[in-house]
Structure 1
Amino acid sequence: MKTFYLLGFTSCVWLLVACGKKTAETKPQRKDMIELVFASGSLEADDQYNLTAQTDGYLVKLDFVEGDAVREGQVLAVIDNRQNKINAQSAAELHRIAQRNAEASSPTLLQITANIEAAKAKLKLDQGQSERYKRLFDNNSVSNLEYENARLSATSSLASLHALQEQYSSQQSSARQQEISQRVVRDVNQVIKEQNRIKVIRSGKVYQKEKQLGDYVRKGDVIAVIGNPDLVYAKLNVDETSMTKLKPGLAVIVQLNTNKSKTYKAIVREILPAFDTGSQSFIVKVYFADKLDFRITGTQLEANIITGEVKNALVIPRPYLNYGDQVTLKKGNQQVVVKTGIISSDWVEILGGITQQDVLLSN
């Protein structure tokens, strides 16, 4: 990218005839100078992104063409990956089994429930027997050993009931954990299965179709390029040597390669912070202030970014500036060093060393 400078008016150069030969003379003059940074680029759709394959397989459905308007969530293509389908079906069935095992009507929990009911009945019987033997013992009708045996049976039955109840709780908790685990596996495999269906991430317009029906694609392959058709901007590649002069809000003049007789006014909207290694430049986004009547993305363009303006600058034609920033005065044919400002291919801004009244000679 290059920096250029423009003048508001043309200069006047006087040609004098002396001693049989022509010598060019000029005087410094006041003019407006505009500093420009040149950049090339292309039209891009805002929010443009690549719609990519998330799995491997053959494209068995491709339901779009370039230029189609697409909505978020719309299925544009289907990839035939049978492994994903089988895994999803298997995970769903295993989850249904785990779900049934977690229900109160599951065979395992029903068996433990039956054992609990039997243990409750036995406990009731043993407790009744223990109470009866206590009354008999109090009346000296049975021995202490018989009473202790009856009481021990009741205690043992109570312990068995508590153990079965703990077993039921543990089995129920384990079954629920298994159901949760299988549900996660089912959901994950369902997500993976859905990756066979390529869906639109954000609504927009299809600008490029990268694959054809029947193509074998791998994860990460681009299927389509989609962008916002309502906002097309100029993506500029700017040389790093010019980046210090740029900032958001600067005015830009854009010329499309499709019609170089027309220009569009635009504004620097965003300067991306990272260096683009592909183009070996920095990326600058420029949004149009004028209505853009040509909106095909990828269209090449040229742009001039207005980075500065000097009003009523003292300037001389570029050929009058010699090596070492010297100029030749007509008076005495004297060499004078000048202080320069903006230098373009045609003009030099003079900041000091000569005045507007000095007459200069060209080499």
Structure 2
Amino acid sequence: MKRHVALALLLLLLASCSDKDKTTTPTVENITESVYASGVVKSKDQYQLFPMVSGVIQQILVTEGDVVKKGDALMKIDNEAAKLSTENARIAAEYARVGANSEKLRELQEAIDLARSKKHSDSLLLVRQRNLWAKEIGTQVELEQRELSYQNSLASYRSAILRFNDLKKQLNFAAAQSQKNLQISQTLSNDYTVKSETDGKVYSVLKEEGEMVSPQTPVAVIGAANDFILELQVDEYDIARIKLGQQVLLHMDSYKGQVFEAKVYKINPAMNERTRSFTVEASFVTRPPALYPNLTTEANIVIQTKKNALTIPREYLIDGTYVMTEDEEKVKVKTGLKDYRKVEIVAGLPKDAVIVKPAP
């Protein structure tokens, strides 16, 4: 008999608790409307480093965690062909040097000197013949021959100067061109050394010595050593509500139970068509003591906050605009802010109303 009484009391207690769980009254409290976003931690200016040329990695000069400066060598790619090309360009540049062609220039300079002497000699003979002709000595044919010889000598002299200047221009051009080719070859040779593009930390070395790489293959991940940001993904339906400067509240699996604060500083305008989401970047206001790239996070971007709002649990709302009273009366209400648990009631429901949770 006692067992039956005890069982009846237990059933009555459970029924009472069940009825209590299905009813509630509005609560006056602060409510914050926010947009959910998931994302990852990244070091500021984090990027993947790609080699400039294809080849086999000959030597890796850094390890994960190393701090590097802009221009520091990170790895070397086998460049035997580049070395040979550079040496060939150096030989060509040396051969094309003006100084290396001094004998050709000297030969033409001697031709100029000889033509000048011939012109001078013919000029003197022409003057003498003219003086003789003025005294009616000699013939017209002899005078014309002297004039023709002088004109030929003058033309030869000018031609020798032109040949000398043309050769000098050609040699200067060939020397400059060969020097440029050498510089290009040296630059290409330098491309076989993979260098850091910024100051920062090496977070990941993606290849090993002996592996083949190409300009389409990343070889390392580098970013700021102590400056981290959040890269968040926001659904396309919510992106219009996101503004610069909005507060971000976030938590990470690495720091369970702790909430950190950040602020939106960049909204990327291009949508990812595959995920139908936008990338939003935020900077930390309060941050954990230790951070690493690619830590996952879940965040709420605060849209607006209202103090002393009249709220009810969201599951008590019917079709978004109605609630059910304890008298089973369906009452229309006007809603305001919403978070993932509560909804603000702006009008239609008194503070002391008792409402019933709708059946699932």
The two structures have a TM-score, normalised by structure 1, of 0.86
Match of 2:84 in 1: 86
What SS does the corresponding residue of 1:122 show, helix, strand or coil? helix
Change (3 A) 1:219 1:334: closer
**Equivalent pair of 1:104/1:110 in contact (CA under 8 Å):** no
Which AA in structure 1 matches 2:228? V
Which of 287-296 and 202-211 deviates more?
287-296
The answer to whether 1:318 aligns with 2:314 is yes
**Equivalent pair of 1:237/1:279 in contact (CA under 8 Å):** no
CA shift for structure 1 position 83: 1.6
Match of 1:42 in 2: 40
Change (3 A) 1:223 1:23: closer
**Equivalent pair of 2:31/2:338 in contact (CA under 8 Å):** no
Which of 278-287 and 305-314 deviates more?
278-287
The answer to whether 1:153 aligns with 2:149 is yes
Structure 1 residues not aligned, in runs of 5+ = 1-16
What SS does the corresponding residue of 2:46 show, helix, strand or coil? strand
Greater share of residues in helix: 2
Separation (CA, whole Å) in 1 of partners of 2:59 and 2:231: 33
Match of 2:247 in 1: 251
The answer to whether 1:139 aligns with 2:135 is yes
Match of 1:6 in 2: none
Query: How is 1:277-288 mapped onto 2 (pairs within 5 angstroms)?
Result: 280-288=276-284
The answer to whether 1:129 aligns with 2:125 is yes
Separation (CA, whole Å) in 2 of partners of 1:190 and 1:296: 38
**Equivalent pair of 1:54/1:220 in contact (CA under 8 Å):** no
Change (3 A) 1:346 1:46: closer
**Equivalent pair of 2:115/2:156 in contact (CA under 8 Å):** yes
Match of 1:98 in 2: 96
Separation (CA, whole Å) in 1 of partners of 2:338 and 2:45: 39
Change (3 A) 1:104 1:215: closer
What SS does the corresponding residue of 1:201 show, helix, strand or coil? coil
CA shift for structure 1 position 321: 2.3
Match of 2:332 in 1: 337
- The CA deviation string for residues 302-336 of structure 1, in whole angstroms up to 9 with x for no partner, is 222112112333333334322362233567x5433
Query: How is 1:281-300 mapped onto 2 (pairs within 5 angstroms)?
Result: 281-300=277-296
CA shift for structure 1 position 40: 1.7
After TM superposition, where is structure 1 displaced by more than 6 Å over at least 4 residues in a row? none
**Equivalent pair of 1:77/1:197 in contact (CA under 8 Å):** yes
Match of 2:10 in 1: none
Change (3 A) 1:109 1:280: farther
Q: 1:213 aligns with which of 209, 212, 216?
A: 209
Which of 299-308 and 121-130 deviates more?
299-308
Match of 1:171 in 2: 167
Match of 1:181 in 2: 177
User: What is the Cα-based RMSD across aligned positions, in Å?
Assistant: 2.5
Match of 2:225 in 1: 229
Change (3 A) 1:266 1:344: closer
Greater share of residues in strand: 1
- The CA deviation string for residues 13-35 of structure 1, in whole angstroms up to 9 with x for no partner, is xxxx8xxx879655544332101
Match of 1:33 in 2: 31
**Equivalent pair of 2:94/2:100 in contact (CA under 8 Å):** no
Structure 2 residues not aligned, in runs of 5+ = 1-15
Which of 75-84 and 315-324 deviates more?
315-324
Separation (CA, whole Å) in 2 of partners of 1:53 and 1:202: 15
Identity value in percent? 28
CA shift for structure 1 position 259: 1.7
Separation (CA, whole Å) in 2 of partners of 1:109 and 1:142: 42
Separation (CA, whole Å) in 2 of partners of 1:194 and 1:231: 30
Change (3 A) 1:348 1:105: closer
Separation (CA, whole Å) in 1 of partners of 2:27 and 2:348: 14
Which AA in structure 2 matches 1:159? A
CA shift for structure 1 position 178: 1.9
Separation (CA, whole Å) in 2 of partners of 1:312 and 1:210: 54
Which AA in structure 1 matches 2:168? Q
Separation (CA, whole Å) in 1 of partners of 2:25 and 2:250: 34
